[in-house]
Amino acid sequence: MRPDITATGPFRYWVRDWQRRLRWQGEGLEPCYYCGLPADTIDHVVPQTLLDRLPELHCSPTLEADTVPACRECNTGLGPRFYNSLAERKEAAHDYLRRRYRKLIEMPDWSDAELADLADGHLKNYVRASIALRAELLRRLRW
């Protein structure tokens, strides 16, 4: 996906953030464990807020990793919740993305002919951005 979309309206900030992360991809950032976007944060698999409480909870999880690289969006979406495995955590991140972008996922498909029929301007930019963002989102959910 080429980050050459001029988005307007509600996607403006997301597109800008997405384009920035695509640039970072060329700078050697690891992929987000949950969605594959360049990871700009470290996700604590056992949330730091819970670490101190594990003994009192009589809990000593055996996890594959203490931390994984994560994009800010997945990391934020997971929040300070604990999951029993990285697979569960990944599914929770995907659930978060599906909820957050439900309207984008459910957007009707546009054919090239329909898109070509639109006059140049705000609506056409909006639809083009939506199509590209949905394709990117679906890639993230297949990661």
Q: Which residues of the shown chain bind Zn ion in the complex (CB under 5 A)?
A: 32, 34-35, 37, 71, 74
Q: Which is nearer to Zn ion, 95 or 114 (CB)?
A: 95
Q: Which is nearer to Zn ion, 86 or 118 (CB)?
A: 86
- Residue 125 CB coordination number (10 Å): 17
Q: How far apart are CA 46 and CA 65, in angstroms?
A: 9
Q: Which is nearer to Zn ion, 34 or 83 (CB)?
A: 34
| Token pair for 90 | 């990944």
Report in angstroms how near the CB of residue 89 gets to Zn ion at its nearest. 11
Report in angstroms how near the CB of residue 109 gets to Zn ion at its nearest. 25
- CA 69, 28, 71, 127 torsion: positive or negative? negative
Residues in contact with 14: Cβ distance below 8 Å, sequence separation at least 6, in sequence order: 7, 133
Report in angstroms how near the CB of residue 68 gets to Zn ion at its nearest. 10
Alpha helix (H) residue ranges in the chain: 12-25, 48-51, 72-78, 86-100, 102-105, 112-117, 122-142
Report in angstroms how near the CB of residue 92 gets to Zn ion at its nearest. 12
Q: Which is nearer to Zn ion, 36 or 50 (CB)?
A: 36
